[in-house]
């Protein structure tokens, strides 16, 4: 029996390749280093979706902007019950109200939904009115604007880099969930909802928020080592370090770290976080020399999203903004194969007792 389906091949895909030994991520034949900070989220989405939709436009910026405007009409359904939920639960509930289907129009609305709904929920929970999309802006810039910010170019580019960086990452838990649902021909909306449901778990996309709690608890660079030593002595897990696949440094961490640094004076507490990172890596190497525990994408995700003024409780929603592009691509790829995912299980329970 293989716990967690470790090393079991469940799909043949053209979407992405995660090379854990080399610390390399390839998305549709392009290295992450060639995409992050160089290609827009709309361009990378076009790359992921190429060949899986009829009449896919050469430029998705306009169609995605129009989809944001369409989805915003659903914000009127956001009542007090929705606002009482956590942001990820509220965003999931609102997304479930969109019409399902398998065509490009549905895909674009689903891609726009996390951006529009998250901004509206965050503002609504702060007692502020939602802000309608501006279809003249790129996706990342408009997300920040709908939150109520007047983003600088560097801030918009930082969020764009983040969305690109998390757009696809092999057959992770949420992507596998999306492919399973897509294989039943339930529709792209159902597949995306399955992805969101898996993503919100603390062992998957729900992890970046606690990193802010850790940094808040440490407070100063001088307190990093004693705080970390005490956490390890209690048996606490240090979020933001170690990865199920990568045996070296997560390449996405450096892409995000660079994006934060390019924000200049708006880079938040980057220097403090770097000091904490150095302390954690030194201590982990001493305490667990037989394990490869390096920085993963979640550590600098938390720093970047904090610097962009997203509340920690909405971090997973922002993850979904980027990963939805990959979920939809994988769902369409699964549909093209036409095979229902139906693995076998090994029964290890009791057998019926023979009649006396």
Could you report how far apart the first and last alpha carbons of the chain are, in Å? Answer: 34
* Statement: residue 311 has pLDDT above 60: yes
Question: At 187, is the secondary structure helix, strand, or coil?
Answer: coil
CB of 54 closer than 8 Å to CB of 283:
no
Burial of 166 (0-12, 13-18, 19+ CB in 10 A): buried
- Residue 24's DSSP bridge partners are 19
Nearest to 165 by CA among 291, 278, 255, 102: 255
Mean pLDDT to the nearest integer, 148-159: 95
Mean pLDDT to the nearest integer, 78-102: 94
**pLDDT of the residue at 207:** 67
Reported as a pLDDT band with limits 50, 70 and 90, residue 2 is low
Reported as a pLDDT band with limits 50, 70 and 90, residue 32 is very high
* Statement: residue 59 has pLDDT above 70: yes
Which range has the top average pLDDT, 45-49, 279-283, 340-344?
45-49
Mean pLDDT to the nearest integer, 115-123: 97
Mean pLDDT to the nearest integer, 342-355: 87
| pTM attached to this predicted model | 0.92
Q: Which residues are catalytic?
A: 243, 298
* Statement: residue 62 has pLDDT above 90: yes
Q: Tell me how crowded residue 312 is: count the other CB atoms within 10 A of its CB.
A: 17
DSSP state of 295: B
CB of 162 closer than 8 Å to CB of 322:
yes
Reported as a pLDDT band with limits 50, 70 and 90, residue 271 is very high
């Amino acid at each position: 029996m293989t716990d967690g389906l470790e090393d079991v091949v469940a799909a043949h895909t053209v979407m992405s390749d995660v090379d854990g030994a080399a610390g390399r991520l390839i998305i549709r034949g392009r290295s992450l280093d060639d995409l992050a900070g160089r290609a827009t989220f709309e361009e990378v989405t076009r790359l992921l979706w190429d060949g899986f939709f009829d009449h896919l436009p050469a430029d998705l910026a306009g169609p995605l902007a129009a989809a944001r405007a369409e989805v915003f009409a659903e914000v009127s359904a956001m009542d007090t019950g929705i606002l009482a939920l956590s942001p990820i639960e509220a965003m999931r509930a609102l997304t479930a109200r969109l019409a399902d289907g398998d065509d490009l129009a549905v895909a674009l609305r689903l891609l726009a939904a996390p951006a529009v709904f998250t901004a509206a929920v965050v503002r609504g929970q702060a007692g502020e009115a939602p802000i309608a999309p501006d279809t003249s802006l790129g996706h990342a810039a408009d997300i920040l604007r709908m939150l109520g910010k007047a983003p600088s170019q560097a801030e918009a580019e930082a969020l764009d880099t983040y969305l690109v960086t998390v757009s696809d990452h092999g057959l992770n838990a949420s992507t596998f969930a999306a492919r399973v649902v897509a294989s039943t021909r339930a529709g792209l909306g159902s597949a995306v909802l399955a992805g969101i449901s898996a993503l919100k778990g603390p062992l998957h996309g729900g992890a970046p928020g606690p990193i802010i709690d850790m940094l808040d608890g440490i407070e100063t660079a001088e307190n990093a080592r004693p705080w970390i030593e005490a956490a390890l002595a209690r048996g606490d897990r240090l979020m933001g370090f170690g990865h199920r696949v990568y045996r070296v440094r997560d390449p996405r961490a450096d892409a995000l770290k660079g994006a934060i640094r390019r924000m200049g004076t708006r880079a938040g507490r980057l220097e403090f976080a770097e000091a904490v990172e150095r302390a954690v890596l030194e201590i982990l190497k001493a305490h667990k020399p037989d394990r490869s525990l390096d920085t993963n994408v979640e550590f600098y995700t938390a720093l970047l999203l904090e610097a962009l003024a997203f509340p920690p409780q909405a971090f997973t929603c922002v993850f979904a903004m980027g990963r939805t592009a990959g979920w939809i691509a994988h769902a369409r790829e699964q549909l093209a194969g036409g095979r229902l995912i139906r693995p076998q299980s090994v029964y290890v329970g009791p057998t019926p007792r023979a009649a006396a």
